[in-house]
Amino acid sequence: MEKQNDKKVHFSFGEVFQNTKSFIDKYNNRQTQLTQKLNANHRATAELIIRLYLKQLNKAAQIGDLNTNSLPGFSTFNESLAKCKGCTKRTIINHKERLKQSGFITQDEHRGKGGVEIWLNREVLGTAKLSTNYGDNVLKIGDATSIFYEKAKNFHPLVHEHQEQLNNNSSVNKSGVPYGHESGKATRTKHEQDKNTEENANPASKRQEKAPERHCKAEKQEQKPGAGRIFLLSLIRQFWDYARKVLYPDLVLSEPEDREILNLIWESVYGKLQSNATEKDWLKYQDTAFNRVNMVARWLARSPGHWIPKPHIYFHPNNERNGFKKTWQWYVKQETLKIEIRNQLLLQQVKAEWQQHEQNKGRFRKKTRLQLFRIQQKRLAGYRDESLNQAYQQCLQRSLHLQNLKRKQQAYAQ
């Protein structure tokens, strides 16, 4: 973070290193695949760059005036970086590529014999605008949305876990399948599951065997803390009715096709209803789903060149290219932006209040500084946003620091 002391800029190593660490951590959290994450080696390169860059900057600040709005880039040579780190030049080039991909390096310029110049993200140097965009925005949107975390690859457990073999052909415990499959209607082989099990042909024996299973199922349903199954299935139907009305107004579908699409929606949009969210959360999620449909409708209306595939493709869970799944990213982006703007406005208001309070103006002029702090803290706590609180603290520290500086300057002038 820069410190203005007698108009001289100074970058503190500790804070910038912390920013670097949190930047890389944040980037890694966003990545789903292990190969896309930045590893310890990349971190080391980033820290090396930061260390040398700050050294350059602080030296430049001592010699002349440095403008924090347009900082010079980090001038170096790939060879010297490689020598410092004890690796080859190629490794440095590769690491730079990865860091550029992650947004840590914003720009780089090759100057042949003159070496390279690298510009780093302003967020890392602490010269960027106060951002309230910490943490996970998906969590802020709602609990049921956790089904949209893309799962990383399932690694085999280190210790062998003994598991009962699941019989995929059995209809038992497939309580998740909502339409058609349970009754065996789609396959038309209602008794097929029992054919290959060497069971007694006597139906009474089957009854004896199946009864405890049904009991288990009932127990499982009782234990499940989330919303009721019928309620959840009705949500899926509502969603499809709405999406059909908005996105496919002229589409005529037969019952089996309808059922197939409902199954696809159950899987791709509602994550097989595996989340243990409450009814309230699901309703909230339903609103987000409707919002996403509206976003798609707006996008379609924007240009005649925009199109979406047929519903069985559009809602297919494996459709990564042009499926409904992608709208989740749009939605998160939109909501993040909304939250960010709201937080920026709140911070602006807070800043203005402090400035007015200092000049004995505004509605809080009769309050003490502590009272004003408490009032603002209470107001911001109402939003239940940890990142907003953090940004508030930073904003407060900055404004207090500026006040101190002003006082010092005044004292110095006198």
Partner 1 sequence: MLSEQMQREALSKCIVWFYDGNVRTFYSLDKTHKRAKPNQALGIRRLEKMLMETFKGQWETAIVYENEPRGNELARFKRGARV
Residues of this chain that bind partner 1 (CB under 8 A): 186-188, 252, 254-257, 259-261, 312
Least CB distance to partner 1 at residue 51 (A): 57
Least CB distance to partner 1 at residue 53 (A): 56
**Which element (helix H / strand E) includes 76?**
strand 74-76
Q: 170 or 276, CB closer to partner 1?
A: 170
Q: What are phi and psi of 96, to 5 degrees?
A: -65, -40
Q: Residue 22 to residues 43, 51, 104, 259: CA-CA distances in angstroms?
A: 11, 16, 11, 46
Q: 217 or 259, CB closer to partner 1?
A: 259
Least CB distance to partner 1 at residue 263 (A): 9
Least CB distance to partner 1 at residue 257 (A): 4
Q: 159 or 252, CB closer to partner 1?
A: 252
Q: Which among 73, 64, 170, 177 is positioned nearest to 120, based on CA atoms?
A: 73
Torsion region of 214: left, alpha or beta (phi above 0 gives left; psi -120 to 50 gives alpha): alpha
Q: 115 or 180, CB closer to partner 1?
A: 180
Angle of the 229-247 helix axis to the 279-302 helix axis, nearest 10: 10
Question: How far is residue 239's CA from residue 291's CA, in Å, rounded to a whole number?
Answer: 11
Q: 74 or 179, CB closer to partner 1?
A: 179
Contact 136, 339 (CB under 8 A): no
Least CB distance to partner 1 at residue 256 (A): 4
Question: How far is residue 227's CA from residue 280's CA, in Å, rounded to a whole number?
Answer: 9
Q: What are phi and psi of 321, to 5 degrees?
A: -85, -60
Strand order through the sheet with 116-120: 74-76, 116-120, 105-110
Least CB distance to partner 1 at residue 245 (A): 18
Q: 92 or 264, CB closer to partner 1?
A: 264
Least CB distance to partner 1 at residue 255 (A): 7
Q: 158 or 252, CB closer to partner 1?
A: 252
Q: 163 or 254, CB closer to partner 1?
A: 254
Least CB distance to partner 1 at residue 140 (A): 38
Q: Which among 9, 5, 11 is positioned nearest to 120, based on CA atoms?
A: 11
Token match 């924007």: residue? 302
Q: Which among 276, 292, 356 is positioned nearest to 330, based on CA atoms?
A: 292
- 53: Cα within 13 Å, side-chain hemisphere: 24
Q: How is residue 312 written in tokens? A: 């069985």
Least CB distance to partner 1 at residue 1 (A): 59
Q: 115 or 184, CB closer to partner 1?
A: 184
Task: Report helix, strand or coil for 34.
Answer: helix
CA angle, residues 159, 164, 166, in degrees to nearest 5: 120
